[in-house]
Amino acid sequence: MITKISGICGIMLPIVIFICIAFAIILSPWFEWTEHALSDLGIEGIAALFFNLGLVIGGILGFIFSVGLQKQLSKKIGSIILSISSLALIGVGLFPETKPLLHFFVAAAFFVLLILAFLIIGQTTRTSKFEYNMGILASVFVIMAITSTIFLLPFNGVAVTEAFSCFPAFIWCMIYGNKMAFTNHKNVSI
């Protein structure tokens, strides 16, 4: 039952975050991907409510998912770091750019820990074909996140890099969450 709940949280994670960020962008006609950071959406108005609440809820979902993921992966360290990254995501929602020092700390922690978690998951998940394939996918997402800094060169903002750093990881959580939620765990080991 815990595995299924964690899996559902993994499925819901990108849905909640994408919907909330989409609403925040729609409510912020000034926002430009190449000129801003995603966190600029969390500064004021109804857009900030959608953005910050989406990150807090997404962080909670990510934390629950990563705790369940610890029971699934053969090596736990990547999922433990993913748990800490999820707590940092909650912090990004609780400490918007209006609290610059706290915001910088939790935002940097979120991105660094997310990439580190997926780097470790990508290199250590090898006990089943599914884990192996998900490990390769995690490694691809790490490469995307690291190379996304190249996109920063012509832009003033970091929203594009932020999206390439975290959105693929959220989709990974959805895929793994689907396996956790809808596999009969009594008869099948993942």
Residue 66 belongs to a domain: yes
What are the counts of helices (DSSP H) followed by strands (DSSP E) for the chain?
A: 6, 0
Asked which of 40-54, 61-75, 133-147 is least confident by mean pLDDT, the reply is 133-147
Average confidence (pLDDT) over 88-117: 96
Domains in the chain, number: 1
Q: Residue 73: which domain range?
A: 2-182
Give the contacts of 97 (CB within 8 A, at least 6 positions apart): 37, 39, 40, 42, 43, 103
Residue 76 belongs to a domain: yes
Q: Indicate the SS3 state at residue 107.
A: helix
Has residue 72 got a pLDDT over 60? yes
Amino acid 10: pLDDT: 96
Average pLDDT, the chain: 90
Residue 188 belongs to a domain: no
Task: Report how far apart the first and last C-alpha atoms of the chain are (Å, whole number).
Answer: 15
Residue 190 belongs to a domain: no
Residue 189 belongs to a domain: no
Residue 188: pLDDT band with limits 50, 70, 90: very low
The DSSP letter of residue 189 is -
Give me the residue label for tokens 């998900």: 134
Give the pTM: 0.90
Q: Indicate the SS3 state at residue 35.
A: coil
